[in-house]
Structure 1
């Protein structure tokens, strides 16, 4: 019997978190898995933590590989290294500072088989120090149609996170889809390409993944000019892929995608970040009112930015993001 699921776990500066990540994977109820840990030349002892923990799970030893990059190559390259090794029918990505429920792989794999799906996605938790926030990933209507789900993802209703999705490995192979080596910020957008080539998809309405919000060393916590270049590269890469496959069919949704890509610039108290929002994809600003997935608050801060009413955005940030969310989720 072949491997049912290959799990790829990139590791870089995740020593405080990786033991829980690995333990939850070693205790999966799905037996027929392979677990591929990619040590991306991490300066800490993440790899040895996993290796030492594995001694307590002798039945998993033959299913686990710990691969080390001799130089730091970045998150996309770590995922690609895992894909080259993977032998599973399906691939699942789990970042080294996060963790999954012990029945996650079994539930996702069984759902994929029951629905004959190329991709299955689930809900997830934003995990803070003292509590968690449930993040529903339900589309506007129940659908196994990849095009509809692709539209929902581009519009921002569904997240293109790489780590709450089980993907048939043949999708990567048959369409030569890999992660963007050297362009780490926005590398999750690769999932949009996979949805674009899927024939049938499925949604599992249960939170099985814990996206930990405690790692100050996490890649996305440190924006830089290079990260901004990465975002533009990955957006252009996805748009080119979609246009080659769908021509002009998704034009409106591509504008929604651009708006969603730059929306985080407005979740800030930094005026230079607001100016950056104005400079990114101005051709898409006319679509703010058209996107059915934008709620009132999202439209409000974007329209305030258009009118350069930056004081309103700053007020929203401090009151809603820092006070309301900051007090509830910590």
Structure 2
């Protein structure tokens, strides 16, 4: 197979049919679709089976794997990776959907340039409209890695096609049991990649129906998960590259705690102060991100919480609460 697509399934009965149909409608033929049922308690798998019946030409290319108990998103990705046979791997979340020419375009570009990783733009999709999310272009994997660490380039798994042997040759897997921030695994792959390529087109629709999910559902367990994944990245990069990325790693820590500043709750501000305080010295040195984000972080470091709260209201309530919804 040219591409293995890995799709974890858990509590997505409202979205799975649209997701699966968009995958089965791909213009690339030599694809295997690996669905991992992570002990989903709803009707997701029944609806998936119904969708599969509508695409008989794809049946031989579909694998259905089952977890007897819920293990979480990273473990489901690993289960899929363990059986994947494609030259390249693509991860798709089962509550999102994709454009029909996505895999063919990314794969053709990868083969044309002999690239280890190809990434593209994407759509942030809301209930009534969507926003085009453009990604930066870099000539080398190191430049892209620096931008991901610092927050300019997204490290999401779902807009990147990765040569499968990068995982196997470097013993790279997703952090089972640590779901928050598990996409940081992409940084490890970029650290060992050769040639990388950017395609300036959007193919992936990231469905975002609850814009306040992070602040509303946040828990200290989530924070510990993020910190675990940051530590994994930090240790991996130090072992491979020494201290050359210390600035970018500090910026990664600042970006990891930035969502705390999008809340209007004092306890979230206190949490921002307690999390990676050593990284605050790098706030004004992170020129990868916008001046606005640096300004908000600077205000937090100076304890100008009324300005932080005003910014959060403008972005969270006005822009994403009214304009994009």
Q: What range describes the TM-score normalised by the shorter chain of this pair?
A: over 0.9
CA distance in 1, matches of 2:86, 2:214: 27
- What is aligned with 1:100? 98
- What is aligned with 2:139? 144
CA distance in 2, matches of 1:21, 1:35: 12
- What is aligned with 2:218? 223
Out of 113, 116, 119, the position equivalent to 1:115 is: 113
Other structure's SS at 1:320 match: helix
Deviation at 1:220, TM superposition (A): 9.2
Deviation at 1:325, TM superposition (A): 3.0
Deviation at 1:218, TM superposition (A): 7.9
- What is aligned with 2:244? 249
Preserved contact between residue 125 and residue 208 of structure 2 (Cα < 8 Å)? yes
CA distance in 1, matches of 2:129, 2:142: 35
Deviation at 1:272, TM superposition (A): 1.0
Q: Which moves more between the two structures, 214-223 or 149-158?
A: 214-223
Give runs of aligned pairs for residues 271-286 of structure 1, distance below 5 A. 271-286=266-281
Q: Deviations over 1:165-190 (max 9, x none)?
A: 00000000000000001111000000
Give runs of aligned pairs for residues 118-137 of structure 1, distance below 5 A. 118-137=116-135
Preserved contact between residue 251 and residue 279 of structure 2 (Cα < 8 Å)? yes
Count of residue pairs the alignment pairs up:
325
Preserved contact between residue 212 and residue 316 of structure 2 (Cα < 8 Å)? no
- What is aligned with 1:166? 161
CA distance in 2, matches of 1:217, 1:259: 20
2:185 counterpart of 1:190: yes
Preserved contact between residue 177 and residue 193 of structure 1 (Cα < 8 Å)? yes
- What is aligned with 1:9? 7
Out of 229, 249, 256, the position equivalent to 1:261 is: 256
Give runs of aligned pairs for residues 81-100 of structure 1, distance below 5 A. 81-100=79-98
CA distance in 2, matches of 1:325, 1:9: 28
- What is aligned with 1:288? 283
> Post-superposition, which runs of at least 4 consecutive aligned residues in structure 1 deviate over 4 A?
215-221
Q: Deviations over 1:138-180 (max 9, x none)?
A: 14xxx33111111111111101001110000000000000000
CA distance in 1, matches of 2:164, 2:303: 46
TM-score where L is the length of structure 2? 0.97
Out of 304, 320, 323, the position equivalent to 2:299 is: 304
CA distance in 2, matches of 1:324, 1:57: 40
Q: Deviations over 1:6-36 (max 9, x none)?
A: 0000111000001000000011000000001
2:313 counterpart of 1:315: no
Q: Which moves more between the two structures, 126-135 or 285-294?
A: 285-294
User: How big is the alpha-carbon RMSD for the aligned residues of Structure 1 and Structure 2?
Assistant: 1.5
Deviation at 1:219, TM superposition (A): 8.8
Q: Which moves more between the two structures, 315-324 or 234-243?
A: 315-324
Deviation at 1:53, TM superposition (A): 1.0
- What is aligned with 1:78? 76
Change (3 A) 1:256 1:323: same
Deviation at 1:278, TM superposition (A): 1.0
Q: Deviations over 1:54-95 (max 9, x none)?
A: 111111000001211100000000000000010000000000
TM-score where L is the length of structure 1? 0.96
